[in-house]
Structure formats: structure tokens, C-alpha cells
Chain A
Amino acid sequence: MKLKKFVKTRDEKFGEVIFDTLKEKVFVTNETGKDIVDLLQQGYSSENIVRSLSDLYNKEPAEIQNDILSFIDSLKNNSLIEV
């Protein structure tokens, strides 16, 4: 998975802005969303993102899995990433 060609991101104090410049739509997300997008950009699979963030946040994977997968789904539903 990776961000689509005309999708740009920029760090902000609250997290991150995700800008689909082709559709001219802007999304904002918090620090956790930013971490997920960063890992997606590095080529991590959903499973590896869950694993990596469970280490980072010191939480059980089961605790955070649903939130992470739901966030990735919202990226897909808004056509921000391609598989």
C-alpha cells in the first residue's frame, strides 16, 4: 500500500494534513494517524503496522488493531492509497 500519486502529506502540530491535490480535498489526522501514514509510506502491511505501533505505544495488538484497520479503511474509502 502507498499514497496515491497526487496525495501529499505535511506534518502539523496536531498531527498531519493529507491533501489529495487532484481532487482538491484536504483531510486532517492526529499523531497516531500520522504514524500510520508514515508506516504505509515505508511499505508496511496492515499487520506490520499494528505490530509496529503496538511496540511503539506499548499496547497489546488486539487493543489497537480495530482503530488502525478502520483508519486504513478510511484512507482506502477516500481513495488516498493504492494497494
Chain B
Amino acid sequence: MSGSVKYLFLLFLSSSALFSSSQKVLLHRKSSSVLQRNETAQSMSNAGRWFYTRTSLLGSVVPTPISGDIGMSYAGCFFFGNDHRFTRSISRHLSWGWGLGFQLLTYGIRQQKNNALSNQVLYNRQSLNTYALPVDIFIRQHFTQKSNTLGWYLDLGWKGCWNFYQLLVSQEELDPKVNQGVGRRYIYNSRLDYVSRWAQFGVFRMGRGHVAVGVMHRFTHFFRTSNSIYAGKLLPDLPRWIGTIEFTFWNRNKSAKKDEDEL
């Protein structure tokens, strides 16, 4: 029997079996398909609809050894953010989202002999603050059946920030005897031309329900060159990792009203 004839014969047998089916199955179910205990899927009830949340972020710079002339006082580092986020389901496992917000990042600078950020005067406390408007885009993996921020989820995203205001605050402890009772003096330097106006972060966070923890890694250099400081050279970069804890809120009543209006 040649190859083609043999192939045709097998094809005929399978086709015959197809056309000669006996009883008609109207319903066939396996209970295991209904009760998959380890299923990882999200609700699609919000598919095709933006899910709006407000998120407050608190955090700090992750202690990281840095080289150079700038010493860090990690106790004085602080991060605060407030985001308005919108997520939308893509599939049973994935959502994507974007957000707009505001963030404040403060780097505490340790007192040191060679103060790189201003003059050679020694200070008791110094902080470098950046006020920024971030835009972030993220993809969200869901691990439970609940949609959007409900249930366990993991986000991977990108955040771009415009540092619209920079402020260096220096606190100097004065000798009261010399300064007639004035013991503390603050010096404010703003619109620092040696701080980059733009920053990019990679964002990774994991959460459940209203609470999430995450880390942000800055891809860009914190400083830029300026003739006004550090002899025109680029200052040593500050720590790039920021740890955050996030609290997310959404208006469930409003969601329900929207559903009702659409009926």
C-alpha cells in the first residue's frame, strides 16, 4: 500500500467515526473544572471598564553603599506619594494601568567635612528634597480571583517624574554665646540647577487588597553637571532604591451606582 493510499484510508476511518456518532450529548460537565482550588484568575466583571483607585505611598531610601563625597543619613530619608491610578483587565490574569500623582523625595545628607552640595561650612543636618509629578504605567498580574486591587497582585511598571521643584535645606547649630541666644539657623536653596529635572523609575510592587509593598529603582542619574558646583563635574549619585508601602482606596458605592446607571 503506497503512502498516499494508506493516508487516505486512515483519513476515511477517522472521518467515518466522526459522522457516525451515536447519541447526542447536550450537556457534559466535570465538577473538577468548576472547583479548581488553585486557580489563579481574576474577575472579568470589570473588563472593559477603568477601575479608579487613590493610592498613598510612604517609604524611604533603601540603605545602599555609595561612593563619593556625599554621605547619606538614611534616618533622614523620606518618600511620600499620592497617586490616582486606573486599571483595566486584559485577561483573566492580567490588567494594565496608568496613573498620575505627586511625590516628595527627601534625601538626608550626613554631616561631613567635605560638604559637596554647597560650601565648606559644616552643618548639623542637611536634606535634599525633590517635588515631582510622576506618570506611571504598569502591568498587573493577579493571583486570586478578585479583580483589580482585590486579592493578591503583582505590578511591574515604569514611572517617569518631572522634578518641578528642588530644595536643599541646611540646618546649622550655632553657638548661643556667640549669636546672642540664636541657637539654630536654616538655609534654603531652591531650584538647584545641579539636580536632574527628569527621572525614570522601574516599579515593582506586590499587594493584597488595600495594602501593597514595593520597591522603585531609579534608572537615571540624580544629578546633572553644573558649573556652579563640584567644579563642574557630575556629583556622585545618590542611592537608587526606594522602598514603599502603599495604601489604596476605591469607592465601591460609586462603582455600584455606575453599574446601575448602565442597566
Is A bound to B?
Answer: no
